[in-house]
Amino acid sequence: MMKVGITGMGAVSAAGIGVAPLWQHVRDGVCAVRPLDMPRGESLRVRIAASVPDFTPEQHLSKSQLMFCDRYAQFACVAAAEAVTQAGLDGVELGGPRTAVIIGTGSGGLNTMDEGSYLFYRGERSHHPMSIPRQIPSTGAASVSMAYGITGPCFSIASACSTASQAVGLGLQMIRAGIVDRVIAGGSEAPLTPVSMRGWELLRVLTPDHCRPFSKGRRGMVVGEGAGVFVLESEDAMAARGAKPLAWLAGYGTTSDARDMIQPDVTGASVAMETALADAGLSPEDIGYINAHGTATVRNDINETAAIRHVFGDYADRLPVSSSKAVIGHALGAAGGLELAVTVMAMRESTVPPQINFLEPDPECNLCLPLDGPEQKEMRAAMSNSFAFGGINACLVVTKTD
Amino acid sequence: MNTGKESTIKWPDLGDPERLEQIIDIIEKEGKIDRDLIRPDATLETLGFESIDVVLILMGIEDKFDVYLPMDDDLAAATNLAEFVAAVGEAAKAESLDAQVAGK
């Protein structure tokens, strides 16, 4: 089977623009959650978010891109550019029909919809003339395809919090199937609108203060935003241009609970992890670190712990697990992308990022949590989990290059 | 108020009897159930509450007391109305919204 490498990574997150600040914040346990002050958001009860700081789209995008790109698509373009640059691909190699773009989003252009609805219902006619393309969930992917002349398959995936992981996983499968040689894959999300935040409040999964994954006393997640995008390439395509991967994208597993829209399921999560391990040809003991979904909701963390325990057995006693959501919030459709970038960096740097915001152990979350800062650890493989509303689970496994 | 005379499970002391009555009012209205069924030992399951009913009740309590009620351990673990009222009553009385949002 054709091996697939990750040759470039790009990120926009609450830590700033780039994989470097993302990794620095997560590795050093520096929380990037900040107060949320939105116009028209005065009645919100939860006033924190992991928002992207100081993002000036004019610095990164062309005039045409600015016309068509909602904030979510802007993030996608910026993250894709970083990944393409790191991969060392010029336009000629990347363009054409043998490359695909799969950049998903949970909700698409929410800011555009929010602004347009507000103006229209107030009786104003100053609607953005490109509001339809701006709110379409595939505009992020389409903008990236246009930026590099990529004429192969181009589409978006929408599977809530598993979006980015599924996009990357499907990219892996498309390269293995010989459909394309390269894929720009990932997820992006810009969900911070007053109405959307009210919706999250009503789901009662938000904490009003601190996101505390796997800790006793956890009360929920913090909404984040950003994008995580990767360049995936076949071994042959890399060899043809003398490129070396940052990591091998070795395994992907995805399942659907087919049970409950909101409550998680141990079996669905377990089978996703087992499938990803089998796909990578690895046994549980080969995994050196799990970047957990770890939303810090009461239910997710219990469920994920049970699933990890089911898959890894007693080895889970010494298998480090941490959730980056305490640092960068839950970036929804982008989360799996940002967290895969963290997972790759952890493996490359032989450093397990810590679990921050921890109060005290929860017997139902009895995992090996690195609580005393970053830990040095050699690892040959690592795993990233994503579990979404709708019962959609996705798990990715990366392995180290020689 | 029906205090569940056949059960040893009692309503929690919320410090203010009126607060308990207000919460029971909301359970009756938003849960769309007969007030006689609202007893401390009644389980959410036997009342036929689905998650959406619980959500509507929590919304009603939030609006009444101007608080935000995250799903914490106590609320998630509540199986009968006494535990449920204790969990939401604690949050409803303990913190103003501003204090809650300012963080601990």
Q: Which three-class secondary structure string do you get for chain A?
A: CCCEEEEEEEEEECCEECHHHHHHHHHHCCCCCEECCCCCCCCCCCCEEECCCCCCHHHCCCHHHHHHCCHHHHHHHHHHHHHHHHHCCCHHHHCECCEEEEEECCCCCHHHHHHHHHHHHCCCCCCCCCHHHHHCCCHHHHHHHHHHCECCCEECCCCHHHHHHHHHHHHHHHHHCCCCCEEEEEEEECCCCHHHHHHHHHHCCECCCCCCCCECCCCCECEECEEEEEEEEEHHHHHHHCCCCCEEEEEEEEEECCCCCCCCCHHHHHHHHHHHHHHHCCCHHHCCCEECCCCCCHHHHHHHHHHHHHHHHHHHHCCEEECCHHHHCECHHHHHHHHHHHHHHHHHCCEECCCCCCCCECHHHCCECCCCCCEECCCCEEEEEEEECCCEEEEEEEECCC
pLDDT number for residue B104: 36
* Percent residues over pLDDT 70 in chain A: 100
For chain B, domains (ranges, CATH) are 17-94 (1.10.1200.10)
Compare CB distances from A298 to B62, B71, B100 and report the shortest one's residue.
B71
A204, B70: Cβ pair inside 8 Å? yes
B71, A210: Cβ pair inside 8 Å? no
pLDDT number for residue A191: 98
Compare CB distances from A206 to B59, B62, B70 and report the shortest one's residue.
B70
pLDDT number for residue A348: 98
**The domains spanning A4-241 and A251-399 adopt the same CATH topology:** yes
A202, B69: Cβ pair inside 8 Å? no
Mean residue pLDDT across chain B? 82
Return the SS3 of B81: helix
Tell me the backbone φ, ψ of residue A187, rounded to 5 degrees.
Answer: -145, 155
The answer to whether B42 faces chain A, any CB pair under 8 Å, is no
B76, A299: Cβ pair inside 8 Å? yes
Domain ranges within chain A, ordered by starting residue: 4-241, 251-399
**pLDDT confidence of B93, banded at 50, 70, 90?**
low
Residue A46 clears pLDDT 60, i.e. is over it: yes
User: Superfamily for A4-241?
Assistant: Thiolase/Chalcone synthase (3.40.47.10)
* Percent residues over pLDDT 70 in chain B: 83
CATH topology of domain A251-399: Peroxisomal Thiolase; Chain A, domain 1 (3.40.47)
pLDDT number for residue B103: 41
pLDDT number for residue B4: 45
pLDDT number for residue A309: 98
B70, A217: Cβ pair inside 8 Å? no
Residue B100 clears pLDDT 50, i.e. is over it: no
pLDDT number for residue B49: 85
Compare CB distances from B101 to A45, A218, A298 and report the shortest one's residue.
A45
Residue A37 clears pLDDT 90, i.e. is over it: no
Residue A289 clears pLDDT 90, i.e. is over it: yes
The answer to whether B59 faces chain A, any CB pair under 8 Å, is yes
- pLDDT digit string, tens, across residues B45-86: 888 888 788 889 999 999 888 889 988 888 888 989 999 999
pLDDT number for residue A334: 98
* Percent residues over pLDDT 90 in chain A: 96
Annotation says A330 is catalytic: yes
Compare CB distances from B76 to A47, A209, A298 and report the shortest one's residue.
A298
Partners of residue B67 in chain A, C-beta under 8 Å? 45
B72, A298: Cβ pair inside 8 Å? yes
Mean pLDDT for A358-386 is 98
Q: Is the ipTM of this complex over 0.90?
A: no
The answer to whether B97 faces chain A, any CB pair under 8 Å, is yes
A204, B76: Cβ pair inside 8 Å? no
Distance (Å, rounded) from C-alpha B99 to C-alpha B67?
Answer: 10
Least CA distance to B66: which residue of chain A? Answer: A45
Closest-CA distance of chain A to residue B69, Å? 7
Tell me the backbone φ, ψ of residue A228, rounded to 5 degrees.
Answer: -130, 120
Mean residue pLDDT across chain A? 97
pLDDT number for residue B95: 52
Q: Which of A25, A77, A211, A330 is catalytic?
A: A330
Mean pLDDT for A358-383 is 98
Tell me the backbone φ, ψ of residue A398, rounded to 5 degrees.
Answer: -115, 150
Mutate to test the interface with B, among A44, A201, A222, A298 (most CBs of B within 10 A): A298
Compare CB distances from A47 to B58, B62, B101 and report the shortest one's residue.
B101
Q: Which of A77, A293, A365, A395 is catalytic?
A: A293
Least CA distance to A48: which residue of chain B? Answer: B101
Partners of residue A217 in chain B, C-beta under 8 Å? 72-73
Partners of residue A203 in chain B, C-beta under 8 Å? 55
Task: Please report the sign of the dihedral spanned by the C-alpha atoms of residue A136, residue A137, residue A140, residue A145.
Answer: negative
Compare CB distances from B71 to A47, A217, A297 and report the shortest one's residue.
A297
pLDDT number for residue A33: 98
- pLDDT digit string, tens, across residues A308-345: 999 999 999 999 999 999 999 999 999 999 999 999 99
- pLDDT digit string, tens, across residues A87-145: 999 767 899 999 999 999 999 999 999 999 999 999 998 889 999 999 999 999 999 99
Partners of residue B62 in chain A, C-beta under 8 Å? 45
Mean pLDDT for A278-292 is 98
B68, A45: Cβ pair inside 8 Å? yes
Least CA distance to B77: which residue of chain A? Answer: A298
